């Protein structure tokens, strides 16, 4: 991390877990443990949990985000939620392009870009996810693939809007598997993302960009990962559902 240049962020991605009552209880556990944290703390929760989460987070240091949004303002898109619906609730953040959305629900680089455009128009902060499969890593195309995903996702995003985008490197082979990229591997790809943004915009914009690592970061490996110069925080899956584990990761980011 380089806190002199950019913000450190630890964001939880709850995925399809927790009822509204359980969300309220978990945030109630987390809030006192992360009070006064030296980094930005967020929880991205299922749609049905958002009202309860927003209520539970009032007066705390926790920002609340959603896990996806549609690109249209309204229309015949059964089961989808628009960015405007999120902002009307008071939600400030949204995850776009998570590998599980790409793998299981047909998300493409093009639809990721459309969703980002809608989220920015609604005033949301976006956590853009990019990353490669194990096969792609073994083929040696990680850098090219991640750069391409980043370029397409950011098409039409102005330099000023870039300040509301956080990029999360999520190696698909490390999501929910317990496998983690080495600190060096994580930093290398985060540096590729930063270099891509520098080429698209300029070095100052790239230096200000917060880049997270999202491949099974936990309480035990967080400090080593966060010590890397281009890793500015984490998008946390399973560990975000355990108050003390999540708080330990926040502590590591605060002390870094």
- Bin 176: left if φ > 0, else alpha if -120 < ψ < 50, else beta: left
Q: How many CB atoms lie under 10 A from the CB of residue 63?
A: 18
Q: Verify whether residue 170 is a known catalytic residue.
A: yes
The percent of the chain in helix, strand and coil, each rounded to the nearest 5, is: 50, 15, 35
CA 256 from chain centre, in angstroms, equals 19
Catalytic residue (choose from 67, 107, 132, 170): 170
23-37 burial: b if 16+ Cβ within 10 Å, else e: bbebbeebbeebeeb
Contacts of 59 (CB under 8 A, 6+ apart): none
Is residue 98 annotated as part of the catalytic site, yes or no? yes
What's the chain's length in residues? 256
Specify whether the CB–CB gap between 1 and 8 falls below 8 A.
yes
Catalytic residue among 98, 100, 132, 248: 98
Kindly list the catalytic residues. Answer: 98, 170
């Amino acid at each position: 991390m380089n806190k002199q240049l950019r913000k450190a962020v630890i964001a939880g991605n709850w995925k399809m877990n927790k009822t509204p009552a359980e969300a309220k209880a978990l945030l109630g556990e987390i809030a006192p443990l992360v009070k006064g944290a030296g980094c930005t703390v967020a929880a991205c929760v299922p749609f049905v949990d958002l009202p309860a989460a927003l209520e539970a987070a009032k007066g705390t240091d926790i920002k609340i985000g959603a896990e996806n949004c549609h690109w249209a303002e309204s229309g015949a898109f059964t089961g989808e939620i628009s960015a405007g619906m999120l902002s009307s609730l008071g939600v400030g953040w949204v995850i776009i392009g998570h590998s599980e959305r790409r793998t299981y629900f047909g998300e493409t680089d093009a639809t990721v870009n459309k969703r980002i455009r809608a989220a920015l128009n609604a005033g949301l902060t976006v956590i853009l996810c990019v990353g490669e499969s194990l096969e792609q890593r073994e083929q040696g195309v990680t850098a090219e693939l991640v750069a391409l995903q980043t370029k397409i996702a950011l098409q039409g995003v102005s330099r000023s809007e870039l300040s509301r985008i956080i990029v999360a490197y999520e190696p698909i082979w490390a999501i929910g598997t317990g496998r983690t990229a080495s600190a060096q591997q994580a930093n290398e790809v985060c540096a590729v993302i930063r270099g891509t943004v520098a080429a698209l915009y300029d070095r100052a914009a790239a230096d200000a960009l917060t880049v997270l690592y999202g491949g099974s970061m936990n309480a035990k490996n967080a400090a080593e990962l966060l010590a890397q110069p281009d890793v500015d925080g984490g998008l946390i899956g399973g560990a975000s559902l355990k108050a003390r584990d999540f708080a330990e990761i926040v502590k590591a980011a605060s002390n870094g």
